[in-house]
Chain A
Amino acid sequence: DADVTQTPRNRITKTGKRIMLECSQTKGHDRMYWYRQDPGLGLRLIYYSFDVKDINKGEISDGYSVSRQAQAKFSLSLESAIPNQTALYFCATSDFGGKGAFFGQGTRLTVV
């Protein structure tokens, strides 16, 4: 089983709909992140969490919200999806120590 699991892997939704992307991890890491990847723009940080009680906005948090339900679970919500939120979304985890983050396989979201 993957260490960082994202569901769903692919999703098509309509403009204005609410959608939740879920992430769970078995690495035992405290820190979890949501990134968005767009062609030619690299990865940009949406939100990050250091533990269950700590949530922080990243570079591009507008239009998104998150919930850290447990140490192992971190979900990303789009309250009212819009077409320019079409992108590849990645969840990642890391421990304290700077040895890098570990990524899930990604969720490809299309908003029509």
Chain B
Amino acid sequence: GEDVEQSLFLSVREGDSSVINCTYTDSSSTYLYWYKQEPGAGLQLLTYIFSNMDMKQDQRLTVLLNKKDKHLSLRIADTQTGDSAIYFCAETASGAGSYQLTFGKGTKLSVIP
């Protein structure tokens, strides 16, 4: 079945850029997502990218998609302590119109003041 892989931990200094990486196996993935989960909270949709795009920028967030290598990354510029959270990569395929999400295990981002 489909699989989404992420590294489990990332530590960066406040003000630096963070890059969170994700690989996926489903070649029919149509949409790819980044979610943020703060402690004790639900998942917040940060951004998404269609598979026919290779980059999307939204303020401090830049998403890069390499469809050939099935690699997705999320770059957070000027990382702040409020960015400390778990970040989930997810993908969905539009087969049968289901749009079911398959999640990675999450990357815990720790920002050092």
Chain A residues close to B by CB (< 8 Å): 4, 31, 33, 40-45, 48, 50, 58, 90, 92, 94, 96-106
Chain B residues close to A by CB (< 8 Å): 8, 30-31, 33, 35, 41-45, 48, 50, 88, 92, 94, 97-101, 103-106
Smallest Cβ-Cβ distance to B46: which chain A residue: A100
B92 contact set on A, CB distance < 8 A: 98
Total A-B contacts with CB atoms under 8 angstroms apart: 56
Instruction: Identify the interface centre among A48, A97, A101, A102: most chain B CB within 10 Å of its CB.
Output: A101
A96 near B105: Cβ-Cβ < 8 Å: no
**Additional pairs, 8, CB under 8 Å, beyond known A58-B100, A99-B31:** A43-B101, A92-B101, A96-B99, A98-B48, A98-B50, A98-B94, A100-B48, A103-B44
> Do A90 and B42 form a contact, CB below 8 Å, given A42-B105, A99-B48?
yes
11 A-B pairs in the complex with CB atoms less than 8 angstroms apart: A4-B42, A33-B101, A42-B105, A98-B30, A98-B48, A100-B31, A100-B33, A100-B48, A102-B45, A103-B43, A104-B42
Instruction: List the 6 closest A-B pairs by CB distance, nearest first.
Output: A42-B105, A103-B42, A98-B31, A103-B43, A100-B45, A43-B103
A41 contact set on B, CB distance < 8 A: 105
A49 shortest CB reach to chain B, Å: 11
B104 contact set on A, CB distance < 8 A: 42
> In the complex, what distance in Å separates the CA atom of A74 from the CA atom of B92?
22
B100 near A48: Cβ-Cβ < 8 Å: yes
> In the complex, what distance in Å separates the CA atom of A41 from the CA atom of B103?
9
Q: Which of A43, A44, A96 contacts B97 (CB 8 A)?
A: A96
> In the complex, what distance in Å separates the CA atom of A43 from the CA atom of B106?
9
